Structure 1
Amino acid sequence: MSEPLVALRAASYAYEEGPEVLSGLDFDVAEGRALALLGRNGSGKTTLMRLLSGGLRPREGELTLGGVPVTYDRKGLTRLRTTVQLVVQDPDDQLFAASVGQDVSFGPLNLGLPDAEVRARVAESLAALDIAALADRPTHLLSYGQRKRTAIAGAVAMRPRVLILDEPTAGLDPDGQERLLATLGRLRDAGTTVVMATHDVDLALRWADDAALLTPSGVRTGPAGVTLADRDLLVRAGLNLPWGVAVAELLRARGLLAETDERPRTPEELAAFTARAGEGSSAA
């Protein structure tokens, strides 16, 4: 197997005067895979994301980038943060500049890039997030969804190989969620590895290639369809069975879906499946 792009090895972390949040954790981010990170509140998702992005340093163990241990001096952190970018859940914790364009330009400017390169990155990122028309808009006049997109654009402007998003669909209406997921799909197609922390098991099943479930005994990572169908693992992670898995179990119990058939993951896919099944029975 190829070396993971980013990995934690035997990593442990505890906050000041608090219990250990993570202990002896091994965790890989494979390049080119969409990864959903799930677990109950307090399971350590946010801590794990901050360890991966260099915002926190393991008390024990190490973080590696392309198999090479990360150093926490200026050079090492610059190398890490040009490869891995974290977007926090609340965009207001990340936005601070007067306008959208100024905010998105902050990271590239801090890299010391030429002005022409900064302008190119800002334009590219705004276009990728479908907010080019907002470049001159004051950040305090943005809607919540626009602020979310602006925060993500600021991370994309760093051209990271790994983009980590903490609950990116939280607080968005259904249309806003769909538009954001379409944007993330385009970023994935362009080569960005996306890690998404979410409580939404249905979203994870629909969107992710792999799922990582944090439980009191550690983390389990595997193909999303298999991992999110493991009832015992879901219970230990404090999560419900995804809608798509429950529907597939019912269809299989009634002989309507073969074990080798792909399960419907959304109501739209279920409607398409039932339409095909109805056509098949009519033809028979």
Structure 2
Amino acid sequence: MSEPVLVALRGVSFAYEDGPAVLSDLDFEVREGRALALLGRNGSGKTTLMRLLSGGLRPRSGELTVEGRPVRYDRKGLTRLRTTVQLVVQDPDDQLFAASVAQDVSFGPLNLGLPDDQVRIRVDEALAALGISALADRPTHLLSYGQRKRTAIAGAVAMRPRVLILDEPTAGLDPDGQERLLATLDGLRRSGTTVVMATHDVDLALRWADDAALLTPSGARTGPVAAMLARTDLLEQAGLRLPWGIAVTRLLRERGLLTDDAPGPRTPEELATLTGAAPPVPAEG
């Protein structure tokens, strides 16, 4: 991959107080413009890795770099990091605290010391990007779960980060909410934001990501998503199953219905298009 590295962990190790090592001598890169899915079993260190990337945790050894420059963990260094990398946690209620949506989204830009007119511009842009402009004055405690998710992401987007890290962003959303969120993330990517998504959903990773990073006991293994999620040895180490799309692609190739160099279907809809069959109809009830 020739895209420049925006953020990287180099030889990083980390352990919580009085606990065993969570990550040891880890190398991990986030490349500009690549949608990256981060996958691994519970306890593999995904949350720790994301907090290290965003500056919420400091490595016991090794270093975090932004565009090749080591991050300093003083006020100036962390401010620079947080205008480059933003993390949105899985539960929006852990991130929302202001009385209204607009107030919550404005918190980060205000902390940067921006003038009020610039804060308003950033808030308006972030709300529009997440499709929640109409909710600006809505009390946060009256939001639906999906609206709270979008508000939490808008708060990160208002910081105009180059890298947006999302921890299980589709968890708890119904299928329509998931599709709308993925469309929003595609819009953010088109506007220049590099997105990293931690997920347990291998089918989602296959259809959404450019690259996949699998956290295994021997470290992080990263590469093009279709190739990585076809590695049954790595999937087993990471506690993951084979994605539906990979299994179907193998079957189609075995039966001579798909050439080796043709991309396989990632969704049932793509399979229907490929085979000329009618797309699946959702069951009622």
- TM-score of the aligned structures, taking structure 2 as reference length: 0.96
Per-residue deviation, residues 190-217 of structure 1 (Å, max 9, x unmatched): 0000000000000000000000000011
Q: Which residue is 2:57 aligned to?
A: 56
Q: Secondary structure at the match of 1:58?
A: coil
Per-residue displacement from partner, 1:56-88 (whole Å, max 9, x unpaired)? Answer: 000000000000000000000000000000000
Cα contact 1:37–1:45 (8 A) shared by 2: yes
User: Which stretches of structure 1, 4 residues or more, deviate above 3 A after TM superposition?
Assistant: none
Counterpart residue type for residue 192 of structure 1: T
Whether 1:256 aligns to 2:257 is yes
Residue of structure 1 in register with 2:17 after alignment: 16
Q: Which of 130-139 and 254-263 deviates more?
A: 254-263
Which residues of 2 match residues 238-257 of structure 1 at below 5 A? 238-257=239-258
What pairs with 1:112-261 in structure 2 (closer than 5 Å)? Answer: 112-261=113-262
Give how far 1:92 is off: 0.1
Give the drift of 1:274. Answer: 0.8
Distance 1:84 1:112 in 2: 18
Structure 1: give runs of 5+ residues left out of the alignment: 277-284
Q: In 1, Cα distance between the equivalents of 2:133 and 2:176?
A: 19
Q: Distance in 1 between matches of 2:220 and 2:85?
A: 21
* Separation of aligned partners in 1, 2:20 and 2:107: 36
SS of 1:62's partner is strand
Percent of counterpart pairs with the same letter? Answer: 81
Distance 2:146 2:15 in 1: 33
Superposition deviation, residue 3 in structure 1: 4.2
1:116-136 CA-to-partner distances (Å, cap 9, x unmatched) read 000000000000000000000
For this pair of structures, how many residues does the alignment match? 277
Q: CA deviation at 1:2?
A: 5.5
TM-score by structure 1 length? 0.96
How many Å separate the matches in 2 of 1:3 and 1:21? 28
**CA shift for structure 1 position 47:** 0.2
Q: Which runs of no fewer than 5 residues in structure 2 stay unpaired?
A: 278-285
Return the alpha-carbon distance in structure 1 between the equivalents of residues 221 and 38 of structure 2.
Answer: 10
What is the rounded CA distance, in whole Å, between the counterparts of 1:213 and 1:108 in structure 2? 33
Distance 1:102 1:130 in 2: 17
Q: Give the match's secondary structure for 1:126.
A: helix
CA-based RMSD of the aligned residues comes to 1.0
Provide the rounded CA distance (Å) in 2 between the counterparts of 1:33 and 1:239.
22
Aligned to 2:99: 98
Match of 2:90 in 1: 89
CA distance in 2, matches of 1:2, 1:201: 24
Counterpart CA distance in 1 for 2:242 and 2:190 is 29
Measure the CA separation in 1 of the matches of 2:164 and 2:14.
Answer: 22
Task: Give 3-state SS (helix, strand or coil) of 1:5's partner.
Answer: strand
Q: Is the 8 A contact 1:125 1:153 kept in 2?
A: yes
Q: Secondary structure at the match of 1:37?
A: strand
